Amino acid sequence: MKANSFFVIIFLFGVISGAANGATDSSSADKLEISSFGRVVAGKFDQDEAVFRGYDNSLSFDNDSLVAVRLDYQANDKWAFVAQAIATDDKLKESGIQWLYADYRPSDVLSFKLGRQRIPFYLYSDVLDVGFAYPWISPPSPLYSSYFFTEFDGVLGRFDFSNREFSGSFESYYGFFDGEFNTVNATNMVNIDYVYGLIGLFNVENWRYRLAYHVGHVDLAPDEQLSPLIQALSDTGFNAIAQSLRVEGVPEYVSIGVDYDSLDVFFKTELTRISAGESIPLVPTQTSFYTTLGYNFYPFSAHLTVSASRNRYFTPEQTIPQGLAPQLDELSRLVDLVYNTRPNDDLKSITMGLRYDVSANIALKIEHTWLEGEKGGRALFEQLDTTQSKQEGQLMQFAVEWVF
């Protein structure tokens, strides 16, 4: 998705004005920090027909591999300007500028980011592309594959606090978004009129606790196949039913996370719930969790992760009268068909992984994931094995991760 031109102008203005002020200053070059991260991920799925997250039964390097560059320009003590761009062949991501914002820090405990940035839905949402930052190759799919949008244009504020026993932060953001949204087998235009959230983080010794709430108004462009039905329902006065076939409403996200790190072991768990209530029947109420247990034997670490998601749809009452006219009966049949064929993405996964830290900024990982959906479900698979009543398979991956 393309960064809003307004924020491009902010970034360029900040950099140019800072460079102009420091044109004769030999330290102006020091104000610009260039960093990079990337990953090369190879993967293979063991199913002949099914495809999961772009992986099929041939060895693939495209799906999760990427390289990114980040520019941090420290204009002065309080202002910095940041741009981050990625290049990838992953179908679920788009190459280009991901982050573009001005960073204002009026004090040691208060900071604001204004511009294009990632929404911090979950513990690792805003570093999902930085594989070096987390133990898995693929963060648990039942949880980390499920949200409408990942970025927003707006402002995020953060307040840090600490005392002799604990530390923490509060973050709050408000913004909007207009762009593309990629799902397992479709790309749609999405308009987010507003989105805001509140995130609390609390650290006590080796424990980290996180609680987050997000809400936004989503308007996804209708699927091309549904558009004629929606139009026909509107034309015949069934506006409420027509609206129920649109993805337009106010989903809420709630997540709780707990993280424990020590020299020997680590533990992570997150529980999330996404719900649009009755406003978007095409979007299920989803409850997901993962739990990771890990063991450190430096420079190696191993983990076992269990994850699952459960999706439940709300089906509104069908109000199209039956038996009055063939056209109405056909409309009723089509509406029922849409409700009855909503995908079931319930999914369970178990992952075993090993990480080897080659150096302070390079890591090798290997991972094996067992996936299992529900009978008749889609289970987030892009392509289903139609010979199987239940989608399942094993995904094997190998990765090289780095940061500079």
Partner 1 sequence: MHTRQNVLPKLTTAFALFVMFTGQLLLSSSVSAQNQLFIVVNSQSQLDLNKQQIRNVFMGSANNLGLEPVNLSTGDLCRTLFNLKVVGLTESRIQSYWAQMRFSGRMKPPKEVDTELEAIAFVSQNRNAIAYVSSVEALPETVKILFVVD
Segment 82 to 101, residues that bind partner 1, using CB under 8 A? 82, 84, 99, 101
Contact call for residues 69 and 84 (beta carbons, < 8 A): yes
Smaller CB separation from partner 1, 52 or 149: 149
Task: Tell me if 23 contacts partner 1 by CB under 8 A.
Answer: no
Paired residues of 300 in beta bridges: 297, 356
CB of 266 to partner 1, least distance (A): 7
Q: How many residues bind partner 1 (CB under 8 A)?
A: 48
Task: Tell me if 116 contacts partner 1 by CB under 8 A.
Answer: no
Kindly write out the interface string for residues 183-212 of this chain, putting x where it contacts partner 1 by CB under 8 A and - elsewhere: --------------------x-xx------
Segment 124 to 143, residues that bind partner 1, using CB under 8 A? 124, 126-127, 130, 132-135
Helix (H) or strand (E) holding 8, with range, is helix 5-21
Single out the segment in contact with partner 1 by CB under 8 A; choices: 166-174, 180-188, 238-246, 316-324: 166-174
Q: Which ranges of 168-290 would DSSP assign to H, the alpha helix? A: 227-235, 239-244
Single residue of 148, 266, 289, 290 touching partner 1 by CB under 8 A: 266
Smaller CB separation from partner 1, 39 or 378: 39
3-class state of residue 112 by DSSP = strand
105 C-beta neighbours (distance < 10 Å), count: 15
Task: Tell me if 103 contacts partner 1 by CB under 8 A.
Answer: yes
CB under 8 Å to 27, separation ≥6 — which residues? Answer: none
CB of 277 to partner 1, least distance (A): 30
Bond prior to 299 in cis (omega within 30° of 0) = yes
Single residue of 21, 327, 361, 389 touching partner 1 by CB under 8 A: 361
CB of 126 to partner 1, least distance (A): 4
Pairing of strands 285-297, 265-275: antiparallel
Smaller CB separation from partner 1, 101 or 147: 101
Task: Tell me if 172 contacts partner 1 by CB under 8 A.
Answer: no
Smaller CB separation from partner 1, 70 or 378: 70
Task: Tell me if 150 contacts partner 1 by CB under 8 A.
Answer: no
Q: Cα separation of 31 and 28, whole Å?
A: 5
* Nearest C-alpha neighbor of 304 from the set 316, 313, 292, 321: 292
Paired residues of 395 in beta bridges: 45, 369
HSE-up of residue 1 (Cα within 13 Å, Cβ side): 25
Single residue of 298, 323, 326, 340 touching partner 1 by CB under 8 A: 298
Single out the segment in contact with partner 1 by CB under 8 A; choices: 43-51, 88-96, 261-269, 325-333: 261-269
Q: Cα separation of 13 and 79, whole Å?
A: 12
Contact call for residues 373 and 347 (beta carbons, < 8 A): yes
Single residue of 158, 210, 303, 365 touching partner 1 by CB under 8 A: 158
Paired residues of 363 in beta bridges: 357, 401
The CA-atom distances, in angstroms, between 148 and each of 219, 247, 348 are 10, 10, 21
Instruction: Read off the tokens for 167.
Output: 């530390």
Residues that bind partner 1 (CB under 8 A): 35, 37, 70, 82, 84, 99, 101, 103, 108-109, 113, 117-118, 120, 124, 126-127, 130, 132-135, 158, 160-162, 164-165, 167-169, 203, 205-206, 261-263, 266, 296, 298-299, 301, 355, 357, 360-361, 363, 403
